[in-house]
């Protein structure tokens, strides 16, 4: 077999796997067969059927749209709008497993975003696992004269959930231009940060972000976020930030419980749109849920940055208990 034959075979295997995922999904969601019935019909094990369904969700092949308003969630949405002065809120049922919260709010945010975007829109984006879930659930929607722009620098690790990858993926789905923060999330010093932000290419991206019609962001907690895990290179920085009052970060900026920047050198090295400029964006959509992110989600709301919140039912109830 020559190289071309090998490539063709690899594509054929991928196509076969995708077809099988689609077939299994059709039997499960449309024909209402059980996983065991599907396994018997296709000559598979039940475990294989379960993995195919999971793979379909992960790849974006399966996109779930819920057309029925859930009364308890709608009540919480109204409460969040009134309590925090929001433009809109989306609350999805909390899954039984904490690990599934990210995917659940990703579906809610993807559905909201598909309805909100219009031709000519500029969408500014942060990065992280939660926003990857949003993009996976977002259906292809071709827009004319649209643009997707980064809000912050990136990491040398985590390429599949980095700012560059996520901007590219969303832009591919809507047929948009791309603008990147071609810089690290943290500079080596405050002076180096200022020099980076003064570069013409970075200034163009920065100004494009400030003028965006919509910003899509998430937040990170102080224990397991990507910024804490991969962005803080020096030992003890996370503990020092906690001691300074940090409850988490938004776009690499560490906030206290009231939503203000904490006094720490890391906040003077962040290569990202400033929080004051973030407030200038017409509509900031925060996608965040789960117990671990409760404190930083509350901080972002208290800081007055958020216009639209997408979260889960349990988190919404806790946020309204303030």
* Structural domain includes residue 64: no
**Strand, coil or helix: 209:** helix
Q: Which two tokens stand for residue 220?
A: 């990170």
One domain for residues 81 and 152: yes
How far is it, in rounded angstroms, from Cα 51 to Cα 64?
17
- With respect to residue 27, please indicate whether it lies within any of the assigned structural domains: yes
pLDDT band at residue 160 using 50, 70 and 90 as cut-offs: low
78-134 pLDDT tens trace = 999 999 999 999 999 998 888 889 999 999 999 999 999 999 999 999 988 899 999
Q: What is the dihedral of CA 38, 43, 46, 52, to 10 degrees?
A: -80
How many domains are there within the chain?
2
Q: What is the CATH number of the domain that holds 231?
A: 3.40.50.1360
pLDDT of residue 227 exceeding 70: yes
Q: Are 123 and 214 in contact (CB under 8 A)?
A: yes
Kindly state whether residues 38 and 112 are assigned to the same domain: no
Question: Which range marks the domain in which residue 19 is found?
Answer: 3-59
Q: Are residues 159 and 252 in the same domain?
A: yes
**260 and 117, same domain (yes or no):** yes
Residues 23 and 123 in one domain: no
The enclosing domain of 28 has a CATH number of: 1.10.10.10
Report the pLDDT value the prediction gives residue 229, as an integer from 0 to 100. Answer: 66
Q: What is the pLDDT of residues 44-84, one digit of tens each?
A: 999 999 999 888 877 777 776 655 557 788 999 999 999 99
Q: What is the pTM of this model?
A: 0.79
For residues 68, 78, 251, 104, the Cα torsion angle rounded to the nearest 10 degrees is: -20
Share of the chain above pLDDT 70, in %: 89
Same domain, 159 and 220: yes
Name which of 315, 314, 313, 170 is nearest 300 in CA terms. 315
> 12 with 86, same domain?
no
Q: Tell me: do 130 and 260 sit in the same domain.
A: yes
């Amino acid at each position: 077999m020559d190289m071309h034959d090998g490539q063709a075979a690899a594509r054929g295997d991928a196509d076969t796997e995708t077809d099988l995922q689609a077939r299994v999904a059709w039997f499960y969601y449309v024909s209402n067969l059980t996983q065991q019935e599907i396994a018997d019909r296709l000559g598979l094990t039940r475990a294989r059927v379960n993995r195919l369904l999971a793979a379909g969700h992960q790849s974006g092949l399966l996109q779930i749209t819920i057309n029925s308003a859930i009364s308890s969630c709608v009540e919480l949405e109204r409460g969040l709008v009134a309590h925090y002065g929001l433009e809109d809120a989306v609350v999805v049922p909390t899954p039984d497993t904490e690990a599934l919260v990210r995917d659940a709010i990703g579906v809610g945010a993807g559905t909201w975003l598909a309805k909100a975007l219009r031709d000519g829109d500029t969408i500014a984006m942060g990065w992280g696992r939660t926003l990857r879930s949003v993009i996976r659930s977002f259906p292809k929607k071709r827009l004319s004269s649209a643009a997707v722009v980064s809000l912050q620098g990136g990491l040398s690790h985590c390429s599949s959930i980095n700012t560059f990858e996520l901007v590219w993926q969303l832009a591919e789905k809507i047929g948009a231009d791309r603008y990147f923060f071609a810089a690290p999330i943290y500079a080596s010093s405050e002076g180096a940060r200022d020099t980076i932000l003064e570069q013409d290419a970075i200034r163009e991206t920065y100004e494009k972000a400030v003028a965006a019609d919509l910003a899509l962001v998430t937040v990170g907690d102080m224990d397991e976020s990507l910024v804490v895990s991969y962005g803080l290179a020096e030992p003890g920085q996370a503990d020092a930030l906690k001691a300074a009052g940090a409850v988490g970060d938004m776009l690499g900026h560490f906030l206290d419980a009231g939503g203000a920047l904490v006094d720490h050198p890391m906040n003077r090295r962040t290569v990202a749109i400033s929080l004051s400029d973030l407030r200038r964006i017409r509509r900031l959509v925060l996608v965040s849920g789960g117990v671990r992110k409760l404190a930083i989600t509350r901080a972002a709301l208290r800081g007055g940055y958020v216009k639209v919140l997408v979260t889960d039912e349990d988190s919404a109830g806790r946020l309204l208990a303030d």
